[in-house]
Structure 1
């Protein structure tokens, strides 16, 4: 994340946030972008300037987070309400202006009032002038997979989830899976005559983790989140919420034995997204959610297998072989390693550009769930949760057990009243030989500028949690499911922006705090973030002031 000096083009786009009802059997309004779900793909080259006007036509406030963009020098463009900005009011608008950096498969989504789970998502592709592994493919396709809920998340589902009536803290279970806005067996992906195709997979689900495979084809992984990697061949892989995986396929590598000899030659094959049923807290084959609105048919049970069709010609025909027969064949092959969700076995494409510095500071984060004083099940990070109907992280004098909303985002406080933040500096403790990053008790951690922080995420919950850091990427050093990675891959760790922390296990990551601002760190499962698994790093407030950074007039107006 060094300073960027190369100037590129200016790419302007307008995004209108409004509701649509695209599926006639459903009565659910989707939060759409330019009246599409998912929203339109935004594309630029690395170091271009993106100027994106967001117009809010919803009845509620909104905001947009540009997931994977570091926002170097533009921390107020990150879109995190309470940390970097106030929300865009109904009938209001905001223009986001930022550098397209780093390159890779990014995406954008709502970061307010659970609008992400209701459809406010879209791809954001930042291209390199020369793509690593570019010689391996001739064309590309983007597949955005997400959960579908029959009920509105931002009102009905979230209020039920965080209520006393939900005595077991059960997350809302999706009713279906959608890819590029289409339900199973309705999405046809055309090859358009190409035999070597790159796929960019974006997991934009609010909850689910998936196993991805394509019948009869090896998948050659070439990018994790936005980090190019040396081609790594698998038959399938797992992808958690907010993770992105790019791979290419070569149709000449199709296993002809995959299609039984007693059926006609197939002109298409299945692309499979299989939801991980172990992460759901109930039996999805029979559970009727207590909040469910009766629809026809009713009840609706989640089918964990989603099928898209890769059309090998222009006929858009279904595969000739049975779906279950193909699944049986897959199970006998080198199937996915359940313990390699982070795919730590891949290697960075450029070793010289991936120098891993030694740690200078340490922070241990303990992840727990328990009932709060109101008898509501919440998530806690180091015994701190947040309690806010606005999902804010503003600094305010409150109980040490919660983080609440305020009218002044953390970033604005860093540049207007930095001495009043009240964040303690790192100290030496028995916890680590390195100085330990300290919290103010409200979920804010002051990180010295240029510090190299080792974070150990200790998961006391039995479920897996994907954690995302805004404004930075980080190196994954090791996990409880792959502890040998620390030594095996020393000096060549992968550097994503999402880490999947094993259930009842741990993950160790390292990040370089060279980007001043207020950056949130949270579980990317939407329900868990709202339950309290979120805090903020305050990085280098003195550096912001030294560089003359100030809040824009537009930002100030939003907070009035």
Structure 2
């Protein structure tokens, strides 16, 4: 691995593979592996990633969790920061590895994340907090598996008048590190203290994670280190990352029946939250499903990996359904996907400024005039393919376009984007951030914005901010957190908004650029549950940003 300040150079070839003998589904893969190869760097290294597209379709890669300060055109968001990389073309991404922690990379176009374009990205900090608690580490990247392709089958069915209720495609299985249930063996390599980096790369599912007989000591949420927070299980929503360590000296084997030999392995469990799915998964047969043998096969929400205590890869001697997951005290489980009770490791440096601005975003999902289910933010559904929008006043307007990304429009017409400045409203004494009615919100540079997400949908939604992380102040599940943790809120880049509830976050807009803010459930993002934050157009130019000719040629 490169030393601090070094260049980390890699070549990523994007192509398809068929890695499973029982499936003919072609997976979109990086360097012919699923998940893609581990990308490692040290904090503030310069990453130079050459991406070669060998697909028959355009592609792009989003570096999830990276701030891209000074490199806003490297975020990989089609329509916002770049045009997609055409077939048989290539693009070089160059950016600083920051902030440190557990990040990941994935596709951001044509449902390619669902179809396999994912991989882990670990940025090692100059000083690793909590390192004294573990001796080795393992990455567990969990994802939904679909028997059908998102690009050709799932998206076209989901976004059609045949599906006015907006039933999201239900996964057919769960995979972790590319392996199906009870086929992944995790070695301890004789270590007693192990850090697990859990990355939820699922298109839809939220999971409860636990390890039989062991307590989990959480040390990181997204890319924020926290003081060790002990639980028996925790919930992780789509796109979130959680690190925890276990101490095998704490293993409680009281769940192992007396009439079986002592176990030399234990189960690692990912249990999908059934409440996320709009149908009864025990009997649901999707309308698009292709008959296979045996047929039908219903989705099993419990995934089991095996932690091999002696590296012999033996199965546990106890029945999987006999144990209470986690420690013997199930009350230690944390059901809050935001883990608001986890406290920042660096509280002294966690200076939280008072809000200067306000934005309320109301989340709804309902059919449009064509009877196609769409996601709406403040009654606007976002569509990055609309390049024909016109302004009745005739003035130049900020367009959502695959051909002219928002970032290019900021650089070309920074003062003529057609987005109103903040105004005082009845909702708050603070100036309210305004939009142009097309999902583009203009943020003054340096503003401290309290964003309230009001979820009028029954489902829980994980919202991710590109280019910025934010403090989670409180949610309807933990309203007391605003006062309880005042001055010591935890930063994340994904907030899980409870169903029929709300979440309040605080964001400092100190990173000029065009940044997407969207639900990370892939189906909802494609249905338009997304907005764009336009931050500091003039500051963007003052920092020396220019449109690169090598990127513009893709448009």
Q: Give your verdict on TM over 0.5.
A: yes
1:189 aligns to what SS in structure 2? strand
2:21 aligns to what SS in structure 1? coil
- CA positional deviation for 1:405: 3.1
Residues 300 and 12 of structure 1, relative CA distance in 2, 3 Å threshold: same
Q: Are 2:79 and 2:400, in contact at CA under 8 Å, matched by a contact in 1?
A: no
| Structure 2 CA distance for aligned equivalents of residues 429 and 382 of structure 1 | 15
- CA positional deviation for 1:231: 0.1
1:419 aligns to what SS in structure 2? coil
- CA positional deviation for 1:429: 1.3
| Structure 1 CA distance for aligned equivalents of residues 182 and 4 of structure 2 | 44
Matched, 1:101 2:98: yes
| Structure 2 CA distance for aligned equivalents of residues 103 and 344 of structure 1 | 20
Matched, 1:301 2:298: yes
1:33 — aligned with what?
30
1:318 — aligned with what?
315
- CA positional deviation for 1:549: 1.2
| Structure 2 CA distance for aligned equivalents of residues 505 and 57 of structure 1 | 43
Matched, 1:20 2:17: yes
1:415 aligns to what SS in structure 2? helix
| Structure 2 CA distance for aligned equivalents of residues 333 and 382 of structure 1 | 39
Matched, 1:541 2:537: yes
- CA positional deviation for 1:189: 0.3
Residues 513 and 395 of structure 1, relative CA distance in 2, 3 Å threshold: farther
Q: Are 2:209 and 2:236, in contact at CA under 8 Å, matched by a contact in 1?
A: yes
Q: Are 1:147 and 1:178, in contact at CA under 8 Å, matched by a contact in 2?
A: yes
1:382 — aligned with what?
378
- CA positional deviation for 1:403: 7.8
Of 21, 45, 48, which aligns to 1:48?
45
Residues 208 and 329 of structure 1, relative CA distance in 2, 3 Å threshold: closer
Matched, 1:347 2:343: yes
1:3 — aligned with what?
none
Of 394, 397, 400, which aligns to 2:390?
397
Matched, 1:111 2:108: yes
Q: Are 1:395 and 1:421, in contact at CA under 8 Å, matched by a contact in 2?
A: no
| Structure 2 CA distance for aligned equivalents of residues 393 and 230 of structure 1 | 45
Of 180, 199, 205, which aligns to 1:202?
199
| Structure 2 CA distance for aligned equivalents of residues 130 and 10 of structure 1 | 19
| Structure 2 CA distance for aligned equivalents of residues 52 and 410 of structure 1 | 23
Matched, 1:446 2:442: yes
2:68 — aligned with what?
71
Q: 1:238-282 CA deviation, whole Å, 9 max, x = no partner?
A: 000000000000000001313222210111000000000011000
Q: 1:325-358 CA deviation, whole Å, 9 max, x = no partner?
A: 01478786225343x1111001000112211110
Of 264, 269, 272, which aligns to 1:272?
269
Matched, 1:503 2:499: yes
Of 209, 212, 228, which aligns to 2:209?
212
Residues 330 and 277 of structure 1, relative CA distance in 2, 3 Å threshold: farther
- CA positional deviation for 1:200: 0.2
What is the TM-score with the length of structure 2 in the denominator?
0.96
Residues 373 and 331 of structure 1, relative CA distance in 2, 3 Å threshold: farther
| Structure 1 CA distance for aligned equivalents of residues 387 and 126 of structure 2 | 39
Gaps of 5+ in 2: 393-397
Q: 1:263-302 CA deviation, whole Å, 9 max, x = no partner?
A: 1011100000000001100010101000111122221211
| Structure 2 CA distance for aligned equivalents of residues 516 and 395 of structure 1 | 26
1:334 aligns to what SS in structure 2? helix
| Structure 2 CA distance for aligned equivalents of residues 169 and 277 of structure 1 | 17
| Structure 1 CA distance for aligned equivalents of residues 391 and 270 of structure 2 | 44
1:85 — aligned with what?
82
What is the TM-score with the length of structure 1 in the denominator?
0.96
1:466 — aligned with what?
462
- CA positional deviation for 1:129: 2.3
Q: Are 1:386 and 1:403, in contact at CA under 8 Å, matched by a contact in 2?
A: no
2:10 aligns to what SS in structure 1? strand
Residues 251 and 328 of structure 1, relative CA distance in 2, 3 Å threshold: closer
Gaps of 5+ in 1: 1-5
- CA positional deviation for 1:448: 0.3
| Structure 2 CA distance for aligned equivalents of residues 392 and 434 of structure 1 | 34
| Structure 2 CA distance for aligned equivalents of residues 530 and 266 of structure 1 | 46
Q: Are 2:448 and 2:509, in contact at CA under 8 Å, matched by a contact in 1?
A: yes
Count of matched residue positions in the alignment of Structure 1 and Structure 2: 548
1:542 aligns to what SS in structure 2? helix
| Structure 2 CA distance for aligned equivalents of residues 159 and 256 of structure 1 | 49
| Structure 2 CA distance for aligned equivalents of residues 556 and 89 of structure 1 | 12
2:7 — aligned with what?
10
